[in-house]
Structure 1
Amino acid sequence: MGHSTSLWNPMPELEIMKDCNGVEQVALRVPRGASARVSLLGGQVISWRNERGEELLFTSIKAIFKTTKVVRGGIAICFPQFGNCSALEQHGFARNKMWSIDYDPPPLPPNGSNGKVFVDLLLKPSEDDLKCWPHCYEFRLRVSLSMDGDLALISRIRNINGKPFSFSIVYHTYFSVSDISEVRIEGLETCDYLDNLCQRERYTEQGDAITFESEVDRIYLSTPNVVAVLDHEKKQTFVIRKGGLPDMVVWNPWEKKAKSMADLGDDEYKQMLCVAAAAIERPISLKPGEEWTGSLELTAVPSSYCSDHLDHLLGTT
């Protein structure tokens, strides 16, 4: 890791650190022992640990640490596009930009961070950015950790332009799992999806749950606001709650593609699963002065607990 510094530490639960390249990271901790770490490069959450110190997010052992590119894993912010559909770099530029700590953010709605440890980050376009994507915006990101160890991200994107613009956004979340063959996703049954392995052909999910036996690369559309990822071997369930993000990306590269990726170990596909809240099919449009808000909350609970409440949770939209 790096060393801590006293640049900014108004609360004992927050600490500024630096990685091996000197990039600042903010560590959040709560009294029961849960923690999270956020890098100012990309506004990327690079660690989320429960009260027992177990890592809940996947990061590749071959992750490449640079000052210009996020690492393979954690939660990366893809904005203003997802995929490679324009002159912009793949998945947009926000994930490879240096964010700043926002010391004076506009207030969130009541209860937005009550009882939580949080940090506010800010991204604004540089002159070079405006040449590629000529829109003035303010992207504010709050990353918070509740006293129970729940991780939340709240994004606010404001158009400070003289003209409207549209964007897509994805919280590209890599969950750490015991074995991909022991994992299933519940809550996406009967949803339509675009299959990136079949030229984005549209299909309807037929299974009672999504399980994994080969490469999967899909964008599920108009999804419920609560989805669960059940890990049978760990007896652990991730509950994903989202707002303002109608779509969900589900991805695992499987063996062949994993071997072709320089920053992913050959067999690491077995220990990872991307389930990412998103707005892709219908990009968000903002008129001058308008602001969009999107949220993601992640909870990790024992599967025995979740099974008692899962039907209720997945019935919540």
Structure 2
Amino acid sequence: MGHPAAVWDRRASLELTKDWNGIEQVVLRNPQGASARVSLHGGQVISWRNERGEELLFTSSKFGNCGSLEQNGFARNKIWTIENDPPPLRPNDSLGKSFVDLLLKPAEEDLKCWPHGEVRIEGLETLDYLDNLCQRERFTEQGDAITFESEVDRVYLSSPQCVAILDHERKRTYVMRKEGLPDIVVWNPWEKKSKAMADFGDEEYKQMLCVDAAAIEKNITLKPGEEWTGRIELAGVPSSFCSDDLDPHLKFF
């Protein structure tokens, strides 16, 4: 008889550490060797490495040195806490997976301001968007896919659950799946603005693209006792992936 399969210990796959500022971080690992690093400052995923140890997320070399993150939402400036008794995953989701649940507990002051080359994005075609470079004027996307040749700062409204970011140069495709967040922000500062930003390298706009789910056009308002869940999931898929695969193969489970 063969040896029984090893049981994946989820708790052993989670490590608490601190960054150079003393802010706590959570490191998650899976049995295949992939890892993710989450900072409790803002509840942000700051690293995602695949099984080969390759970094898949862009983080500016000047990030965190200066400047304010308030423009990206008040929650980015708050310290999150770890949920000690998270709800269990479904049985078919729990095997070999590492996860952490984070909580943002509002302070008294928070209650006063709770929020009333070769890369393209597929899945946002024909949508209306607000252009932050044109005083938030409303336009309709005309292209078959979104490509980048200059500064872009847009909010795509009532967007689908899934969009794909295709990086032809690196032969990588990322799929972003979301729920509870109707809009998608697409941003790249390009050359001129990069040089004017204190917390961003002059040439780093060539290495990154911000695609983020958000709730901007319509505020999410909670009454006392109400709950709201927003979720974003990033996945790397084969480079042959195309927008036709967005539905139904990549729906939420």
2:178 is aligned with 1:245: no
Gaps of 5+ in 2: 1-8
Aligned to 1:223, which of 155, 159, 162?
Answer: 159
Partner of 1:167: 115
- Contact between 2:65 and 2:199, CA under 8 Å: does it hold in 1? no
* SS of match in other structure, 1:282: coil
**TM (normalized to structure 1)?**
0.70
Partner of 1:119: 100
Q: 1:12 to 1:110 in 2, by over 3 A?
A: closer
CA distance in 1, matches of 2:65, 2:29: 24
2:132 is aligned with 1:199: no
Partner of 2:233: 297
State the shift of 1:290 in Å: 1.8
* SS of match in other structure, 1:167: coil
* SS of match in other structure, 2:72: coil
Aligned length: 241
Q: 1:200 to 1:276 in 2, by over 3 A?
A: same
Instruction: Give the aligned CA root-mean-square deviation in angstroms.
Output: 2.4
> What is the correspondence of 1:12-161 to structure 2 with a 5 Å cutoff?
12-65=12-65, 89-105=70-86, 107=87, 110=90, 114-115=94-95, 116-130=97-111, 132-133=112-113
* SS of match in other structure, 2:94: coil
- Contact between 1:222 and 1:246, CA under 8 Å: does it hold in 2? yes
CA distance in 1, matches of 2:221, 2:107: 21
* SS of match in other structure, 2:230: strand
More strand by percentage: 1
Q: Deviations over 1:129-162 (max 9, x none)?
A: 34x43xxxxxxxxxxxxxxxxxxxxxxxxxxxxx
CA distance in 2, matches of 1:40, 1:69: 17
State the shift of 1:36 in Å: 0.2
Q: Deviations over 1:58-112 (max 9, x none)?
A: 111122348x966xxxxxxxxxxxxxxxxxx43333211222222124x367469
Q: Look up the equivalent residue of 2:110 and give its one-letter code.
A: D
CA distance in 1, matches of 2:235, 2:10: 26
CA distance in 1, matches of 2:91, 2:193: 43
Q: 1:37 to 1:198 in 2, by over 3 A?
A: same
- Contact between 2:153 and 2:188, CA under 8 Å: does it hold in 1? yes
State the shift of 1:214 in Å: 0.2
- Contact between 1:222 and 1:247, CA under 8 Å: does it hold in 2? yes
Q: 1:109 to 1:31 in 2, by over 3 A?
A: closer
Partner of 2:6: none
Percent identity of the aligned residues?
68
- Contact between 1:42 and 1:97, CA under 8 Å: does it hold in 2? yes
2:203 is aligned with 1:267: yes
Q: 1:94 to 1:29 in 2, by over 3 A?
A: same
CA distance in 2, matches of 1:295, 1:275: 14
- Contact between 1:187 and 1:314, CA under 8 Å: does it hold in 2? no
Gaps of 5+ in 1: 1-8, 71-88, 134-165, 169-180
Structure 1 runs of 4+ aligned residues shifted over 3 Å read: 89-92, 108-113, 127-130, 314-317
* SS of match in other structure, 1:237: strand
Q: 1:21 to 1:112 in 2, by over 3 A?
A: farther
Q: 1:20 to 1:56 in 2, by over 3 A?
A: same
- Contact between 2:166 and 2:174, CA under 8 Å: does it hold in 1? yes
